Amino acid sequence: MKRLLGALLLFALALAQTPAYPETAFGLGYAPDRGVYLQGGLLLPFSPLGLDTGLDLEVLLDQNPQGEALFKANLFPGLVVESLYASLGVGLDLRYPFGAHLGPLFSLEIPGGALSARLGLGYEGRFHLAYGLGLRLYLEPLALEAAFSDRYPFRLSLLYLF
């Protein structure tokens, strides 16, 4: 399974538009209760109906592989909230072992960083609510991200942006 997810990540990175800063990123995250995560994010090279699309991938690197692929589409990419750039979109969250969630995504750029949130309803062994909140600080070309979600109570990540 790790090989399949790694191949999918490499294939997705090969399709990425350049430059796609800051949506295209690659790095490692660490959650104290789960271990090390391999993370990637990219802007996809297609825009159906003019929508910006992207894909975020994360894979837990241990003996019990788990992963998540979040396909996202920005429905309103140019909102302004109190003079700060924001976007509102929808995301389809696919997980291994089996899980699928659909729901809204929100991001707000703050000076030197970005705040993002997501919510999703779906199925993961039973009816399930997925959520996540993250804060990313840009240290160009790196980013430091602190996040929590329904999968981990806290994760700290170091990402390379390209």
Q: Model confidence over 138-150: pLDDT tens digits?
A: 998 999 999 999 9
Q: What Cα–Cα distance (Å) separates residue 67 from each residue in 88, 94, 95, 114?
A: 24, 8, 6, 24
pLDDT of residue 6: 54
Domain ranges of the chain: 2-161
According to CATH, the topology of domain 2-161 is Porin (2.40.160)
CA pair distance 88, 65, nearest whole angstrom: 31
Above 60 in pLDDT, residue 44?
Answer: yes
DSSP for 43-68, written as a single string: E-S--GGG-EEEEEEEEE-SSS-EEE
pTM of the model: 0.79
Kindly report, residue by residue over 100-122, the tens digit of the pLDDT: 999 999 999 999 999 999 999 99
Average per-residue pLDDT for the chain? 85
Q: What is the 8-class DSSP label of residue 24?
A: -
